[in-house]
Amino acid sequence: MREIREFFDGTIVLAGAMSSGADVLAAQAIGADMAYVGTRFLATREAHVMDEYKQMIVDSGSEDVVYTSLFSGVKGNYLRGSVVRSGFDPDNLPEADKSKMNFGSGSDLKVKVWRDLWSAGQGVGNIHDVLPAGELIARMVAEYEAARRRLCG
C-alpha cells in the first residue's frame, strides 16, 4: 500500500479475504480508502444465489478454494465442493484453451459458472453463518468499532 501511495493519490480499494469489521479497519490502517467485501455477502439471506451455495460457503475453508482457468478461460476461485459435484477432480484440472474463452456461458463445458460452479474467496474460512444483510452490516460495524477501541483506546 505504501508503494502504491508513492505514485497514486486516488482512491484505493483493498480486497481479499475481507469478512469482518476488523478487516475493514485493517485495510484503512495500512492506507486503503475502502475495503471490498465480496464472498461474505454471498452468505446473506438476500443474496440471489442458491441456498446450497450459501451453505457450501459456510462449510468451506480456504483450503477448499480452487484456482483455475478451466471454466471461463480466466483464472478464478471456485469452491472445491462445486467442482467435485460437477464431475471434475479439483486437484487435476487442465488449463483452459484461451482461444475458446466464453464469459457468457462459462466455456464450452456443459457446466456453467455461477449455476454449477460456485466462486468464493480465500476468506470463506471466516464465514460461519447465513444472516440477513442488515444484521451482517450491524455486526461488521460493531466489529469495526471494537477493533478501533482495542487499537486506539
For residue 80, being part of any structural domain is answered with yes
The answer on 115 and 132 residing in a single domain is no
The answer on 78 and 39 residing in a single domain is no
For residue 77, being part of any structural domain is answered with yes
pLDDT value, residue 102:
61
Q: How far apart are CA 119 and CA 98, in angstroms?
A: 20
Among candidates 120, 113, 121, which has minimal Cα distance to 71?
Answer: 113
pLDDT value, residue 16:
93
pLDDT digits (tens, 9 = 90+) for 105-146: 445 567 877 789 999 999 999 999 999 999 999 999 999 999
For residue 53, being part of any structural domain is answered with no
pLDDT digits (tens, 9 = 90+) for 5-29: 999 999 999 999 999 999 999 999 9
79 membership: H or E segment, kind and range: strand 76-79
Confidence label for 103 from pLDDT (cuts 50, 70 and 90): low
The answer on 135 and 105 residing in a single domain is no
For residue 100, being part of any structural domain is answered with yes
- Top pLDDT among 112 and 64 is at 64
Find out whether 23 and 127 touch, Cβ atoms under 8 Å: no
For residue 66, being part of any structural domain is answered with yes
The answer on 28 and 72 residing in a single domain is no
For residue 56, being part of any structural domain is answered with no
At residue 67, does pLDDT exceed 50? yes
For residue 55, being part of any structural domain is answered with no
At residue 56, does pLDDT exceed 90? yes
The domain tally of the chain equals 2
pLDDT value, residue 115:
84
The answer on 105 and 143 residing in a single domain is no
The mean pLDDT of the chain is 92
Find out whether 15 and 34 touch, Cβ atoms under 8 Å: no
The answer on 107 and 72 residing in a single domain is yes
The answer on 133 and 108 residing in a single domain is no
Q: Measure the N-to-C terminal CA separation of the chain; round to a whole number of Å.
A: 25
Does this model's pTM top 0.85? My answer is: yes
Grid cell 475453508 is found at: 61
Q: Write out the residue range of the structural domain in which residue 94 sits.
A: 61-119
Cα–Cα distances in angstroms (integers) from residue 99 to residues 6, 67, 70, 107, in the given order: 38, 19, 12, 10
